[in-house]
Amino acid sequence: MHFIDHVRIYLKSGDGGNGCVSFHREKFIEMGGPDGGTGGKGGDIIFEVDPNLNTLIDFRYKQHFKAQRGQHGRGSNCTGAHGNSIVIKVPIGTQIFDEHKESVLFDLIKPDERFVFLKGGDGGRGNATFKTSTNRAPRQFENGWPGKETWVWLQLKLLADVGLLGLPNAGKSTFLSVSTRAKPKIGDYPFTTLKPQLGVASVNDQEFVIADIPGLIEDAHLGSGLGDRFLGHIERCKVLLHLIDVSSDDIERDYQIIRRELEAYGHGLKDKPSVIALTKTDLVDEECVQSATKVLSQYTKEQIFAISSAQTKNIHTLLTFLSQVVFDK
């Protein structure tokens, strides 16, 4: 399944039905009077959160949504039927932006949340409502009120407690696979992960969600590699887990690249609580691990863990620490 996290769609609520001009006709009843009914209300545009969805793929094939118009009023004081509303289902974590993508109109973060985004137009009045003591046979009526229409942007930001960061091939997917039941694609080459992945970690009878995003490289904010478009999926995370390959030739550079990209991206990511994990410790000796820890300690006060996903070394210890950070918030 393709992962699509932002789309532009057109919405239009239904127009109201027109009022009716009608006069009562029945045998033995003279001058029955006006009995034109009111038009029906147009259908609404409704958004509803569906916890079973995790992508905006459905909107790739349908971008226009128009609710049904209300039916016109009829004689015998019959009100027109209301138009059918359209319910648009979106994943949890979806944001609705205005047409110019300048401001957030709604942020849907609750399961099964539902609200009316565009109300349908009201139906016009029939001539029965215009009857007065001085105007016994009115021929006035109202047209239905038009519905509302607009273009909006939908942007999906995944909801997770812990966000994984790191250069390509830092071991993020492997860590996700051993710490949760997720089954991400794992390969011995950069950019194995091409779309965000979610997994649920369970430790000490507590569960929290971990999000893995494609690896960042230097100048990702300028579009290098896969760019920084997926960083939005960890904006809601309570803590960031920065994974660094301990066998790298330049530990300091690897750390600084990610920090600079977070700062360039903004949105408060650089100020979020962070934890560092030195990965692939099974490939080097203990002296190399201690040296890398010492180097990083000169640039950050963040907690540093040395782990091996292949041997599940210190994985439980790291998850326990992350759960404490998540549930203390």
Is 215 labelled a binding residue? Answer: yes
Contact yes or no for 37/79 (Cβ under 8 A) = yes
Q: Is 22 annotated as a binding residue?
A: no
34 is in an annotated binding site: no
- Shortest CA distance to 60 belongs to which of 5, 1, 10, 7? 7
Q: Would you say 169 is a known binding-site residue?
A: yes
d(CA 250, CA 266): 25
Q: How many residues does the chain have?
A: 329
Please check if 117 is assigned to a binding site. no
Q: Is residue 160 marked as binding?
A: no
Q: Is 55 annotated as a binding residue?
A: no
Q: Are 15 and 146 in contact (CB under 8 A)?
A: yes
238 is in an annotated binding site: no
Residue 85, marked binder: no
194 is in an annotated binding site: yes
Residue 170 assigned ligand-binding role? yes
Cβ contacts of 28 within 8 Å, gap of 6 or more = none
Is 296 annotated as ligand-binding?
A: no
The b-or-e profile of 249-278 (16+ CB within 10 A means b, else e) is: eebeebbebbbbbbeebeeebbeeebbbbb
279 annotated as a binding-site residue: yes
Judge whether 42 and 13 are in contact, CB under 8 Å.
Answer: yes
Q: Is 171 annotated as a binding residue?
A: yes
- Does 280 carry a binding-site annotation? yes
Q: Tell whether residue 193 is among the known ligand binding residues.
A: yes
* Phi (first) and psi of residue 229, to 5 degrees: -65, -25
Q: Is 67 annotated as a binding residue?
A: no
Is 158 known to sit in a ligand binding site? no
Query: Is 110 flagged in the annotation as binding?
Result: no
Q: Is 281 annotated as a binding residue?
A: yes
| Residue 213 counted as an annotated binding residue | yes
Residues making up the binding site: 166-173, 191-195, 212-215, 279-282, 308-310
Which residues make up each annotated binding site for Mg(2+)?
A: 173, 193
Q: What are the binding residues for GTP?
A: 166-173, 191-195, 212-215, 279-282, 308-310
